[in-house]
Structure 1
């Protein structure tokens, strides 16, 4: 990353790599990895510069971007090194139609699909929940077509026969089957952490 700077390093689920040190079950190798990661993070914070072919001074920075669903499990030293700590809440009623559109980009939809209505029906759902709903709804038309067919009949089905548009009823059934994965207690815990440690 330093060689190709300016550059960005993205670390997903950083709590798995940099959870609080000193636990009774912590392995020595794990502790060493965390310590080395912290040392390298210190090096990332130093901005270097060089002169390009035109004589202009160019900053050579490396930005570290990390994500976690469990910020309270981060090692305190790592938390200090992450200068900006931002809580991204669940998608609101303006964002959810866009999430449905993204997930349905390559799926045939019936004319009765109402994205604002779907957004209203999925209050409190996460982006992953909405992805699961879209996947489940897309499979329902195939289940209807293939229900009761023998193996030979399934083999003879054409792709056009299987690719039926997803209807609003499919989404309503999928939403009825898939509950939201984030509870109010989880949200409150994130808000409390952000109140104490957030840095926008």
Structure 2
């Protein structure tokens, strides 16, 4: 899965494992690295052996570009090259597990924000390369509803209008906007007060509804985390290497 940061690639991977009813191995690059000679390759081998033992299973490797960047560069360490080689070998080993007996399936999922840094051999083994874009207007509205389900809202709040103003924001950016907007009324109420005065404020005065103005103020404070140039680079990479 390829896409800008904050678009929910990790969450989608967990959803796949839940829907498929498979054993889920959530692996980061740190979990597969060790300072001891030969230990990292051993960890990769053990991971795939466990996945086969508990099959059907799903191995999800987050930020895979950090352990499988392009080989052959002058700055590449020998230990890093061995880990990549072992990972590629193990992935070749699970490629043949997709026969008629579905109980033996081991599926490898990966996510990256930098697909152009991936090793070519790994890119070949990851047969499906799917772009996870920024949320649409409808998606942004649904994300607002999810983030605000426990937040009291004023009658003037129009979530469709808020979603329209958040074009270009990622899911993580929208979460930050909601969090900031929910705190606006609280900040106004305690502005200029001492800690002792804040303690004396009744609870109902601290939990005021969030207004449309609060969302507009929060939007000014929370900027987009993904630029147009970044989006263009993802689209160009997907045109060349993407798959449906």
The question of a shared fold, defined as TM-score above 0.5 by the shorter chain, is answered with: yes
| 1:188 aligned residue | 232
CA deviation vs aligned residue, 1:152-181 (integer Å, no higher than 9, x gap): 122334543322221111101111222212
| 1:53 aligned residue | none
1:107-126 equivalences under 5 Å are 107-126=151-170
Consecutive unaligned residues of structure 2, counting only runs of 5 or more, are 1-50
Task: For residue 98 of structure 1, report the CA deviation from its aligned partner.
Answer: 0.5
- 3-state DSSP of counterpart to 2:138: coil
Q: Does 1:14 align with 2:64?
A: yes
2:102 and 2:123 mapped to 1: Cα distance?
A: 29
2:156 and 2:97 mapped to 1: Cα distance?
A: 54
1:6 and 1:34 mapped to 2: Cα distance?
A: 24
Aligned with 2:118 (options 64, 74, 83): 74
Between Structure 1 and Structure 2, how many residues are aligned?
A: 194
1:69 and 1:169 mapped to 2: Cα distance?
A: 34
Measured at CA, do residues 158 and 33 of structure 1 come closer, stay the same or move farther in structure 2, by a change above 3 Å?
farther
Contact 2:97 2:104 survives alignment (8 Å): yes
1:27-106 equivalences under 5 Å are 27-47=77-97, 58-106=102-150
Measured at CA, do residues 163 and 29 of structure 1 come closer, stay the same or move farther in structure 2, by a change above 3 Å?
farther
CA deviation vs aligned residue, 1:106-136 (integer Å, no higher than 9, x gap): 2222222111101110111111111111111
2:122 and 2:203 mapped to 1: Cα distance?
A: 51
CA deviation vs aligned residue, 1:14-64 (integer Å, no higher than 9, x gap): 1112111222222222222222211221122121679xxxxxx55310111
Q: Does 1:138 align with 2:182?
A: yes
Measured at CA, do residues 159 and 31 of structure 1 come closer, stay the same or move farther in structure 2, by a change above 3 Å?
farther
Consecutive unaligned residues of structure 1, counting only runs of 5 or more, are 51-56
Contact 2:185 2:208 survives alignment (8 Å): yes
- 3-state DSSP of counterpart to 2:59: strand
1:141 and 1:21 mapped to 2: Cα distance?
A: 53
CA deviation vs aligned residue, 1:78-120 (integer Å, no higher than 9, x gap): 1111010011221111211011111112222222211110111
Contact 2:56 2:102 survives alignment (8 Å): no
Could you tell me the TM-score, scaled by structure 2's length?
Answer: 0.74
| 1:150 aligned residue | 194
